[in-house]
Structure 1
């Protein structure tokens, strides 16, 4: 670990300022959705709400990238173990996220009502994209090895855990009992049913391989 040089320190300070504004925007709009009758998330057909949310998220992501580069390996985690463990977790999180995202159309991710997805990754978790983000943030935190990055990752995970809670009233309104039945059998993120289903899939795959 080594202290940041003055120029890098200023860069990190600016990144933190941008991240703070962006995080306040995301938490603020999600909080308004949760606590009032106004709905900012999911934005639905309101293009300006969608643009507002993704402007905040994009700014926050850029700030995290700046911190990752500027404060790389600036913390106390043991090297190379943290990198060797963190990188595969981050890649796995990215794979889970993209598999969940590819199963839905962009408009449906944003809350424009379409089909209720219950197959593929959505048979294991109601929010596989968010599970992927959480895994990705955990892996990236280990790989980057920066206390500042860890703080930003924790804030990111915090709003990711709130987003589905904000989405569920819209989903129940749109799909009614169909969504209620889905929610009863599939966990919001990951649960025992997720592990059971994965176990059954693995066992079935082994059985097919043995029979061949």
Structure 2
């Protein structure tokens, strides 16, 4: 019986791998650039007198912000598909944890979004919401986004996605800090009382409310 001879990958297979790798790197780079742009918008708002976020109305800053967000989302999905399960996180534990966190985060985000009008969710001035999920957290939609992106990173099991997820969490944490001066100016004492009662993300108040339910 003749010994098995190892076969080298065909030129076609190597070419396909290189194309996938190059596409992954390109998509990852787009995500990083989009994140850098969002960080820049938020830092300008936080450190200067220019209010780029929230814009309050559909200005150029509004369209720039959402263009960057959609570029980031597109890059994240592309990298997730091309680099699926390429890291070293143990399975199936991270797969299960990722699914649970992604589902919970998405549910929290969608429930929070259902309370607001689409304009208010996208940075256009509207009403102050303090009921429903907003009685537990001032920013339940952002809590859902953070939980969901952590779940997605565990589910996909990709170092590229993990880096993009970390960048995403970074600017989501900054979003409410950029929004709060605008909300104080718009809603005055009602917003001050709300901030004194309900945490920015989660806290003791959130836990007590959940236990009471």
2:148 equivalent among 126, 136, 140: 136
Query: Deviation above 4 Å: which 4+ runs of structure 1?
Result: none
Contact 2:102 2:151 in 1 (8 A): yes
Say yes or no: does 1:19 pair with 2:46: no
**Alignment map for 1:126-165 (pairs within 5 Å):** 126-165=138-177
Unaligned 5+ segments in structure 2 are 1-15
Q: State the match for 1:178 in structure 2.
A: 190
* 1:115 counterpart SS class: coil
Q: In the TM superposition, what are the counterparts of 1:9-88 in structure 2 within 5 Å?
A: 9-88=21-100
Structure 1 residue 46: Cα displacement = 3.2
Equivalenced residues, count: 198
**1:110 matched to 2:126:** no
CA-CA distance at 1:97 after TM superposition: 0.5
SS in 2 for 1:5: helix
2:58 and 2:124 in contact (8 A); partners too: no
Deviations 1:175-200, CA, capped at 9 Å, x for gaps = 11110110011000010110100100
Following the alignment from structure 1 to structure 2, what is the Cα–Cα distance between the partners of residues 122 and 8? 42
The residue that corresponds to 1:120 in the other structure is 132
Q: Tell whether the 8 Å contact from 1:171 to 1:179 is kept in structure 2 after alignment.
A: yes
Structure showing greater Rg: 2
* 1: CA distance, partners of 2:20 / 2:143: 32
Structure 1 residue 8 displacement after superposition: 1.2
Offset of residue 112 of structure 1: 3.2
CA contact (8 A) 1:43 1:110 kept: no
Q: Is the 8 A contact 1:44 1:110 kept in 2?
A: no
Structure 2 CA distance, aligned partners of 1:134 and 1:82? 17
5+ residue gaps in structure 1? 202-212
How far apart in 1 are the matches of 2:100 and 2:191?
Answer: 33
Equivalent position of 1:209 in the other structure: none
